[in-house]
Every structure is written in structure tokens, then in C-alpha cells.
Amino acid sequence: MRASLIQIGVDPDESVENRRVRVAALVRARAGADLVVLPELWPVGAFAYESFAAEAESLDGPTAEAMSAAARDAGVWLHAGSIVERDPQGPLYNTSLLFSPDGELARTYRKIHRFGFDKGEAVMMGAGEEIATAVLPDATIGLATCYDLRFPELFRLLVDAGAQMLVIPAGWPARRREHWTLLARARAVENQAYVLACGTAGTHAGVEQAGHSIVVDPWGEVLAEAGPDEQVLDVELDLARVAKTREEFPALKDRLLGLPTPRRR
């Protein structure tokens, strides 16, 4: 499988519409890839909270329309990062969109763990309630978003649901970049799965972004890593390596589940 991670630079002086057009062109340029991945909330910026309500859109809104067409034109599976979703029956959500090569919206995922510690996203957006996997021709992928990376139990559920590859769009702050790399590698090692973690470059509402999108194999080896600026990573993935790793080092079989709650003494 050939995967491309497009680390988008989010410039506050660039309009959302211009960015959609530019990103769609970047996706079309990846024709020949099997899977293309974009970052979290790239249309508006992950920390541009004051713009969330104004830029919120439906699952058939302008970003979805542009990304559907780009996926179809390039003939790729496109994880289009996430948008601020406006649900007419509920709150805003941080929602990831996965398009098939014919442009169909094949899967969505509403971010479960919201960042902000009772501020920002944590109070402005609803929490997702379902894990999400998708079956591609070469692999089953598990979907997560940014802050989710800090919660290993979510990834265990995705692996139990069949995930061989974990795809994580993000808008991760530069001041915690070491955590980003460490956690991406940890999720790969403990789940014996590929991790494709795609971040943003630039500055969102005064918050410098880490960049450093990363692809990690099931042994925790870094196959590709971006720098801090806008960049595209192209990497070849051998999906047979997941089964081989799990067979040669069957740690997942040794999990002890359902242990009783310890008594207080």
C-alpha cells in the first residue's frame, strides 16, 4: 500500500475557501497513492475556537464536496482530516471524513476525547460516542483524532475491531511535539499496528503547530517523519508485516481482561 500524508500549513491570512481549493489540488497530485491523509480541522485551524461556529458545516457541505471530488479525481481513498460539523439536531462535533476512490463518504468519526480542560473544544463540541473502523482493499483502518492519542484504551478497542492501521489526523502544539512522537510510537508498539499520524504546520490562533507528521511500523520503527513546515510524506507500507509481527511476537494474546476491581485495604 502506498500512503501519502499531506501536512497542511494553516495560514490565518488565507481564506478557508482558498485553502479548500489548494488542498484539493494537493490531493489530486497524489494520484497513484492508495490512501491520502489530511490533518485535523485544517479548513479553520484546530485552535481557532472563535471561528468554529461560523465555519461549521454539514457532512455534505463545501469541504466534503471539495474533498469528495478530489478523491474521485485522484482515484484514492482520502481521509480528509476533520471538519467542524454542524449537526442540526445537536452540538458541533469535530468530525473526520473518509472518502472512497469514487468520492463516496464511506465513514465518519466524531472525536471522542475533546481537548481543552473545560475550555475551547471541550465545551464547544460534543463528544463522539462510537469507535470507527473502515475496511479498505488492503487493510482495516481505525480512526482517531489528535487528543485521542493520549488514551490507549481507545486504540485497544480499534484493534479488537480488526484495525491493522491507525490513522490519526491532528493539530498538535509545537510545545508538546516530543509527546506527539512518543505517543505515536507507543500506540504502534502496543497494538502492533501501523500508525499514520498527520499534523498541521503554521500557527492556529497564536498556537504554533508541531508539524512532524509521522508513519510508524508495527515494531515502532519510524518509516517517515516530516519537518515543521508544510510537506508531503509518501511511504510504502507492507500490510503483511502486521500479521507477521503479531505472529512472531504474540503479545496481544497475553492480555488479561476482566480483572476484578482491587479491594481497598
Q: Is 238 part of any domain? A: yes
Q: Is 204 part of any domain? A: yes
Q: What is the mean pLDDT of residues 129-147?
A: 97
Convert the pLDDT of each residue in 71-110 to its tens digit.
Answer: 999 999 999 999 999 998 889 999 999 999 999 999 999 9
Q: Is the pLDDT of residue 173 over 80?
A: yes
- Tell me the average pLDDT of the chain: 96
The yes-or-no answer on residue 146 being catalytic is yes
Pairing state between β 140-143 and 231-236: unpaired
Q: What is the mean pLDDT of residues 236-256?
A: 96
Q: Is 207 part of any domain? A: yes
Q: Is 257 part of any domain? A: no
Which of the residues 55, 146, 198, 230 is marked catalytic?
146
- Residue 25: partners with Cβ closer than 8 Å, 6 or more residues away: 70
C-alpha dist (Å) from residue 163 to 48, 112, 218, 259: 32, 17, 12, 24
pTM as predicted: 0.96
Per-residue confidence band for 258, with pLDDT thresholds at 50, 70 and 90: confident
Separation CA 250–CA 24 (nearest Å): 41
Per-residue confidence band for 259, with pLDDT thresholds at 50, 70 and 90: confident
| Total structural domains within the chain | 1
Q: Is the pLDDT of residue 116 over 80?
A: yes
Which of the residues 55, 57, 85, 111 is marked catalytic?
111
Per-residue confidence band for 263, with pLDDT thresholds at 50, 70 and 90: confident
Q: Is the pLDDT of residue 265 over 80?
A: no
Q: Is the pLDDT of residue 264 over 90?
A: no
The yes-or-no answer on residue 253 being catalytic is no
The yes-or-no answer on residue 119 being catalytic is no
Q: What is the pLDDT of residue 246?
A: 98
Q: What is the pLDDT of residue 90?
A: 85
For residue 128, the enclosing domain spans 2-251
Separation CA 77–CA 104 (nearest Å): 10
Which of the residues 40, 55, 57, 85 is marked catalytic?
40
Separation CA 123–CA 117 (nearest Å): 9
Q: Is the pLDDT of residue 194 over 90?
A: yes
Convert the pLDDT of each residue in 16-60 to its tens digit.
Answer: 999 999 999 999 999 999 999 999 999 999 999 999 999 999 999
For helices 177-191 and 152-160, what crossing angle results, to 10°? Answer: 30
Q: Is 260 part of any domain? A: no
Q: What is the pLDDT of residue 89?
A: 86
Q: What is the Cβ-side half-sphere exposure of residue 14, based on CA atoms within 13 angstroms?
A: 19
DSSP string, 21-75: HHHHHHHHTTBTBSEEE--TTTTT-TT-GGGHHHH-B-TTSHHHHHHHHHHHHHT
SS3 content of the chain, % helix, strand, coil (to 5): 30, 30, 40
CATH of the domain at 39: 3.60.110.10
Q: What is the pLDDT of residue 257?
A: 84
Please, what sign has the CA dihedral across residues 122, 127, 133, 134?
A: negative
Q: Is 258 part of any domain? A: no
Instruction: Name beta bridge partners: 20.
Output: none
